[in-house]
Amino acid sequence: MRRQTKTLYSAPMRDLAAEIAEINAPLERDAPALFRALSPLGRRAFFPPDIPSQAAEARSATLNGTTGQITDGRGGAVRLPALAAAFGDLPGRDLDQALLYSPVEGLSEVRQRWREWQRRQAPAGVASSLPLVTAGLSHALSLAADLFGGEGRAVAIPQPFWGNYRQAFAMRTGARVLNGPAYVAGRYNPRAISDALAAVPAGEPAVALLNVPSNPGGYTPDREERRATVAALLDEAERRPLVVICDDAYAGLVFAPAIPRESLFWELAGVHPNLTAVKIDGATKEFSFFGGRVGFLTFAVEPDSEAARSLESKVKMLVRSSIGSPVASSQVILLQALRQEGIAAEVEAVRALLQGRYEALKGALEKVDRNLLTPLPFNSGCFALIELPEKLGLDSETVRRHLLAHHDTGLISIAPRYLRIAHCSVDAAALPELVRRLERAVAELV
């Protein structure tokens, strides 16, 4: 007798091509430049009607046997006393949220409250989606790379830059990282991205990374430089579909009174049909919550639009297929802060602490021998960048190793001749001594 073969699913196979086309249709119609800029993975990504989406539909069901998490049988968490005690007097509903799976897109209240936090100084009428929760800002960058990177895609980054950009875009997706100088003659270069894309044929989509305040430079453009930066990006958008990723990791950490604190995202959102603005931010630096790993990914589209739903579907698929869902406990901890009326004052207190360190470092660097060290302009964020004069014939890695071995001081070297000082992690009173050791180390190597 012939054995019958059982199939895993009795339902007919879904038409994946039709579902992908349905997800992409609003983007092709309402955001054609964004659609053209999507990578092959970005185009085919969509959140399928799998376990998480079916579980979401069943959340209000009296009997819910959808999600594979251990509950009390009524939707609450089964609380190990040792774990529950670590959350102190957290309210019961919040404790349940902390101990159970987060939705793939993040907890609804966290998303809503972070959007309110983002938009405190946003111009009225500028579109921004409901932020999607990510596992830190590096994860958000990785998601953006999946959406808009891909083999051969031009990605323009002012140089020097944070090395993880190369890992996220070039190493993971095969994109081409192109550089323009972040500084020219010791001053901020508003045309760095245009310089990087100069040889890319017109009409070819490209990605630009705008990190303000910057890592490693610790610089935010002044109002005139800001206008010139926006103008250069608009000129570039005349030539091609351009995705501008605003890496706002250090948002608000500005120390010079005349420097704008608002993200450039708000000036770029909706300003040109060929320019797609993407905002990456999070609690890491803004709330000094480094261990929490709560980041956000936001698009310059209306939150209830079909385009927003299409982008959310794509991001959710990428999250689901990599980390499953963002960490719930960190989101709940952040939520406690976002609910507090005095949170803005607490954030400002951290900024003021860093301003004291910035001023101490700035004062110490003003006294260094310019034949040995060239401090580049800095006014914000967590860092300052020092350039070794080319005439010395020294590379930054040699100086870094000598400084660590002979002066008990650690800095970051960035090829070929830059050293990054993270003043955020050094007491203000110790920063003049750090600068003295750096100057002495260079003198010993010359």
Q: What are phi and psi of 279, to 5 degrees?
A: -115, 130
Q: What is the CATH number of the domain that holds 373?
A: 3.90.1150.10
SS3 per residue for 277-335:
EEEEEEHHHHCCCCCCCCEEEEECCCCCCHHHHHHHHHHHHHHHCCCCCCCHHHHHHHH
Q: List CB contacts of 33: < 8 A, sequence separation 6 or more.
A: 205, 241, 242, 273, 274, 275, 276
* Tokens at 281, concatenated: 């931010």
Residue 44 falls within a domain, yes or no?
Answer: no
d(CA 409, CA 440): 12
Would 76 be classed as within a structural domain? no
Give pLDDT tens digits for 396-410. Answer: 999 999 999 999 999
> Residues of 344-375 as b/e, b for ≥16 C-beta within 10 angstroms?
eeebeebbeebbebbebbbebbeebeeebbbb
Indicate whether 165 and 249 sit together in one domain: yes
* Whether residue 256 sits in one domain with residue 220: yes
358 is in which domain, residue-wise? 344-445
Closest CA to 65 of 78, 51, 77, 79: 51
Q: Report d(CA 124, CA 114) in Å as an integer.
A: 17
Geometric angle at alpha carbon 412, from 289 and 163, rounded to 5°: 75
Structure tokens at 328: 């719930």
Listing DSSP states for 167-232 in one string gives: IIIIIHH--EEEEEESEETTEE-TTHHHHHTTTSPTT--EEEEEESS-TTT-----HHHHHHHHHH
- pLDDT tens for 282-307 read 999 999 999 999 999 999 999 999 99
Please report whether residue 78 resides in a domain: no
Determine the 3-state secondary structure of 245 from DSSP: strand
**Count of domains forming the chain:** 2
Same domain for 317 and 353, yes or no, is no
Final residue belonging to a domain, choices 339, 358, 381: 339
Q: How far is CA 131 from CA 37, 225, 276, in A?
A: 20, 28, 16
pLDDT at 14 (0 to 100): 66
Structural contact between residues 115 and 137, judged by C-beta atoms closer than 8 angstroms:
no
Which of 159, 155, 136 minimizes the C-alpha distance to 147? Answer: 155
Question: Would 409 be classed as within a structural domain?
Answer: yes
| Boundary-marking domain end, from 275, 306, 339 | 339
Identify which of 303, 273, 373 has the alpha carbon closest to the alpha carbon of residue 122: 303
Query: Could you tell me if 130 and 308 are in contact, meaning their C-beta atoms sit under 8 angstroms apart?
Result: yes
353 and 326 in a common domain: no
Please choose, from the candidates 83, 132, 169, the residue with its C-alpha nearest in 3D space to the C-alpha of residue 314. 132
Distance CA 216, CA 412 (A): 9
Which residue among 290, 311, 339 closes a domain? 339
CA separation for the pair 198, 350 (Å, rounded): 40
Tell me, yes or no, whether 64 lies in a domain: no
pLDDT tens readout for residues 306-362: 999 999 999 999 999 999 999 999 999 999 999 999 999 999 999 999 999 999 999
Both tokens of 432, joined, read: 């003049």
Q: Name the phi and psi angles at 414, rounded to 5.
A: -130, 120
Average pLDDT per consecutive 10 residues, the chain (446 residues; last block may be shorter): 41 74 97 98 94 87 91 94 95 96 98 98 95 98 98 98 97 98 96 98 98 98 98 98 98 96 97 98 98 98 97 98 97 98 98 98 98 98 98 98 98 97 98 98 98
Name the token pair of 46: 């969509």
Residues 348 and 269 in one domain: no
Residue 243 inside a domain? The answer is: yes
Residue 232 inside a domain? The answer is yes
Identify whether residues 280 and 360 lie together within a single domain: no
Q: Considering all CA atoms of the chain, what is the largest pairwise distance in Å, rounded to the nearest integer? A: 93
Question: Do 307 and 160 belong together in one domain?
Answer: yes
Task: Please count the CA atoms within 13 angstroms of the CA of 259 that sit on its side-chain side.
Answer: 20
Please tell me the distance from the alpha carbon of residue 339 to that of residue 193, in angstroms, as a whole number: 38
Helices 328-338 and 108-118 meet at what angle, rounded to 10? 50
Question: 3-state class of 433 per DSSP?
Answer: helix
**270 & 229 share domain:** yes
In terms of Cα–Cα distance, which of 423, 405, 403 is closest to 413? 403
Please give the angle made by the CA atoms of 211, 336 and 279, to the nearest 5 degrees: 20
* 153, 206 contact by CB (below 8 A): yes
- With a threshold of 0.75, does the pTM exceed it? yes
**Does residue 319 lie in a domain region?**
yes
Are 207 and 116 within one domain?
yes
Using alpha carbons, select from 206, 209, 210 the residue that is nearest to residue 198.
206
Residue 198 and residue 154 share a domain = yes
Q: Same domain, yes or no, for 308 and 174?
A: yes
For residues 146 and 278, state if they share a domain. yes
CATH of the domain at 206: 3.40.640.10
Tell me, what DSSP letter sits at residue 424? G
